[in-house]
Amino acid sequence: MSNVVLNDVRKTYPGGVEAIKGVSFEVGDGQFCVLVGPSGCGKSTLLRMVAGLETITGGAIDIGGRVVNEVEPAERDIAMVFQNYALYPHMTVYNNMAYGLRNRGMPKAEIDTRVREAAQILEIGPMLDRKPRQLSGGQRQRVAMGRAIVRQPKVFLFDEPLSNLDAKLRIAMRVEIKRLQRRLKTTSIYVTHDQLEAMTLADILVVMNGGVVEQIGKPLDIYQKPATTFVASFIGAPPMNLIKTKAGEFGNLFAHDGILGVRPEDLVVDSTAFDGGVAFDLTVDAVERVGPETFIYGSRAKHDGAASVSANPGELPPGEIIVRIPGQDAPAIGSRIKASAARAKLHLFSADGRKRLDS
């Protein structure tokens, strides 16, 4: 068994700064778990605690049935892939991959077998005699992953490994990492701030915010039923529209004040209002044509004074609603449109955004 269990894990720095505030979850044997959240949410700190690079100030971390709180990193049977590759510049690709195995006293023949097998899997066999400076960013990242693979650890840990790559290469490497993990069936924990990366890679997704876990589940389940307005706005691009709502403002949706959520793709333009749903009269403020789809930015505040709510800095400005439509046809800027959503597409949250009200 190579499952990883975190039980009420905490991290408090000198001065009382609490970075991790009682995190608990389990990553099953062979699962790919992604920790996602904004900068400063604690995801990298948590990963480093699993690796043994940060001390634990509370709770317990169990790897493969053994509590490792006091176990040195080298003895935890994990392998870590870093954002900056951490390759030895004076060594060849072969020696970078073999270095850790030599330090463990592994026989030369077995080292050679493991290195060449990993190189074949990662398609870097012809590069084994090169130095890191002779490689592209993507090739260096493959070497870093190869160095982890040859260890044959219980758990792979990835700390934003694709952050230094360009957009096109990130997509290609994302596919490679998922294919590799499925082939090796090694339990993996992956940290990223990119919600698209998180959604496409994860078997289990852990959404973090301010040192706590906001929601855990399968990516699609979290997308379809976010537990809080933070999750609703963080997972999905463009973000979910969130509107502060008074009791009775949208029929019988809310008995008390609350927050109404609707994703941009669930709004239909110039349609008759859905029975039990919602409809917004909008002024078109901006249009973005993004390949096969178009984003319409509309202002509701000019008509009825209602305002959107921002769950976090950098999210929707007050009063703005985004509509996502297929194709490149769009209404003119300054024109008036009606955007409607069916009742089944709506998300209802408490007024503080901390609780989902609909099942």
- Both 300 and 267 in one domain: the answer is yes
> Which residue has tokens 């529209």?
241
Beta bridge partners of 10: 21, 58
In sequence order, what are the residues at sequence separation of 6 or more whose Cβ sits closer than 8 angstroms to the Cβ of residue 74? none
Do the bridges between strand 78-81 and strand 155-159 make them parallel or antiparallel, or are there none, so unpaired? parallel
Q: Which of 205, 229, 253 is the last residue of a domain?
A: 229
Q: DSSP assignment of 212-242, as one string?
A: EEEEEE-HHHHHHS-SSHHHHHHSSSSPPEE
Residue range(s) defining the domain that contains residue 122: 4-229
- Both 184 and 252 in one domain: the answer is no
Are 353 and 347 in contact by the 8 Å Cβ rule? The answer is no
Model confidence at 315: pLDDT above 80: no
Model confidence at 98: pLDDT above 50: yes
Tokens coding 78: 């994990």
Q: What angle do CA 296, 297, 301 make, to 5 degrees?
A: 135
Do the bridges between strand 17-27 and strand 187-192 make them parallel or antiparallel, or are there none, so unpaired? unpaired
Q: What pLDDT is attached to residue 84?
A: 81
Examine residue 115 and state whether it is found in any structural domain, yes or no: yes
Q: How far apart are CA 9 and CA 211, in angstroms?
A: 10
- Both 119 and 206 in one domain: the answer is yes
Q: How far apart are CA 188 and CA 156, in angstroms?
A: 5
- Domain total in the chain: 2
Model confidence at 302: pLDDT above 70: no
Q: Which of 173, 211, 214, 181 is nearest to 356 (CA)?
A: 214
- What backbone torsions phi and psi does residue 281 show, to the nearest 5 degrees? -90, 120
- Both 201 and 286 in one domain: the answer is no
Q: Cis omega before residue 238 (within 30°)?
A: yes
Q: Which of 229, 253, 269 is the last residue of a domain?
A: 229
Question: Cα 1 to chain center, whole Å?
Answer: 25
| pLDDT tens string 175-207 | 888 888 888 889 999 999 888 899 999 999 999
Q: What is the CATH number of the domain that holds 131?
A: 3.40.50.300
More confident residue, 322 or 314: 322
Q: What angle do CA 191, 188, 170 make, to 5 degrees?
A: 50
- Both 297 and 211 in one domain: the answer is no
Q: For 195-198, which contacts have Cβ atoms below 8 Å and span 24 or more sequence positions?
A: 195/36, 195/234, 195/235, 195/236, 195/237, 196/237, 197/34, 197/36, 197/162, 197/170, 198/34, 198/36, 198/235
Q: Which of 203, 229, 255 is the last residue of a domain?
A: 229
Examine residue 190 and state whether it is found in any structural domain, yes or no: yes
Q: What pLDDT is attached to residue 255?
A: 78
Residues in the chain: 359
Give the alpha-carbon dihedral of 148, 149, 150, 155, to 10 degrees.
70
Average pLDDT over residues 210-237: 95
Average pLDDT over residues 17-29: 95
Examine residue 357 and state whether it is found in any structural domain, yes or no: no
| pLDDT tens string 122-151 | 889 999 999 999 998 888 888 988 998 998
| Least confident stretch, 271-275, 313-317, 336-340, 354-358 | 313-317
Please indicate, yes or no, whether the overall pTM of this predicted structure exceeds 0.85: yes
Examine residue 355 and state whether it is found in any structural domain, yes or no: no
